[in-house]
């Protein structure tokens, strides 16, 4: 497979999180992810086990959400969600921060929760992305979350769920990259629908994007690279 194509494809977490997707649509989405060889499928928790079965023996990772979409489940429920996901084959957890606690600046609670879930993921040998949901936050909240996530050694900080009032913005991505060390990667989610947008955020230091327009993005990529179209 063309190296340039692979670098782009391996930036994409194919999002299958819409609550109105049917089982056939979810399974077709997993097959699409396999055909295009993306980084991961991020799927609703109730379908994670089936997703992991479909992706088994491939280079596409099964991932899911914790505390989606508002993050305000109790800490114990989020911990159990994470444990169940890891048991079901998840290799990358996408965890939403507790938005109410962040806006209340209850940083001790937020710090404890992020550290607990990060430790749970890492003790299982898996990775964690922490979703800020920036559209509801002031810059001071985002900067403090970057500090907490860096101290906890999370694998990614992520802009959005894709289900809030706004998605990834250039300003937020610059801020998150500026306030996290290089070992903490940045993921953009919400509004990444074209190859040009993906390339724009990559230039800012983004290593992963969440996308549901995966097919359009990668078909455009293959067309520009003069690679044969993918059919499945």
- Active site amino acids: 94, 158, 187
Round to whole Å and give the CA distance between 41 and 145: 25
Tokens representing 59 are 């280079």
Q: What single-letter DSSP state applies at residue 41? A: E
Tokens representing 17 are 């999180």
Tokens representing 118 are 């990060």
Helix (H, G, I), strand (E, B) or coil at 152: helix
Round to whole Å and give the CA distance between 152 and 149: 5
What pairs with residue 94 in β-bridges? 65, 129
What pairs with residue 210 in β-bridges? 13, 189
**Torsion sign across C-alpha atoms 76, 81, 85, 88:** positive
Round to whole Å and give the CA distance between 148 and 153: 9
Closest CA to 82 of 45, 40, 131, 112: 45
The neighbour count for residue 73, using CB atoms within 10 Å, is 16
Q: What single-letter DSSP state applies at residue 40? A: E
Round to whole Å and give the CA distance between 158 and 65: 12
């Amino acid at each position: 497979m063309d190296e340039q194509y692979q670098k782009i494809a391996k930036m994409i977490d194919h999002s299958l999180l819409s609550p109105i997707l049917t089982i056939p649509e979810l399974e077709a989405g997993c097959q699409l992810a396999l055909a295009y060889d993306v980084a991961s499928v991020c799927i609703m928790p109730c379908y994670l086990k089936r997703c992991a079965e479909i992706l088994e023996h491939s280079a596409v990772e099964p991932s899911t959400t914790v505390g989606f979409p508002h993050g305000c489940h109790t800490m114990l429920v989020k911990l159990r969600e994470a444990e169940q996901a890891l048991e079901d084959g998840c290799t990358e957890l996408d965890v939403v921060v507790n938005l109410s606690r962040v806006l209340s600046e209850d940083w001790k609670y937020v710090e404890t929760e992020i550290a607990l879930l990060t430790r749970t993921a890492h003790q299982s040998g898996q990775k964690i992305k922490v979703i800020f949901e920036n559209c509801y936050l002031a810059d001071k909240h985002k900067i403090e979350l970057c500090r907490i996530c860096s101290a906890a050694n999370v694998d990614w900080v992520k802009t959005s769920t894709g289900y809030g009032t706004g998605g990834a913005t250039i300003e937020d991505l610059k801020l998150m990259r500026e306030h996290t060390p290089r070992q903490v990667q940045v993921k953009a989610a919400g509004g990444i629908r074209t190859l040009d947008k993906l390339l724009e955020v990559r230039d800012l230091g983004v290593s992963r994007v969440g996308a549901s327009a995966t097919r359009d993005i990668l078909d455009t990529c293959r067309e520009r690279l003069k690679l044969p179209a993918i059919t499945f």
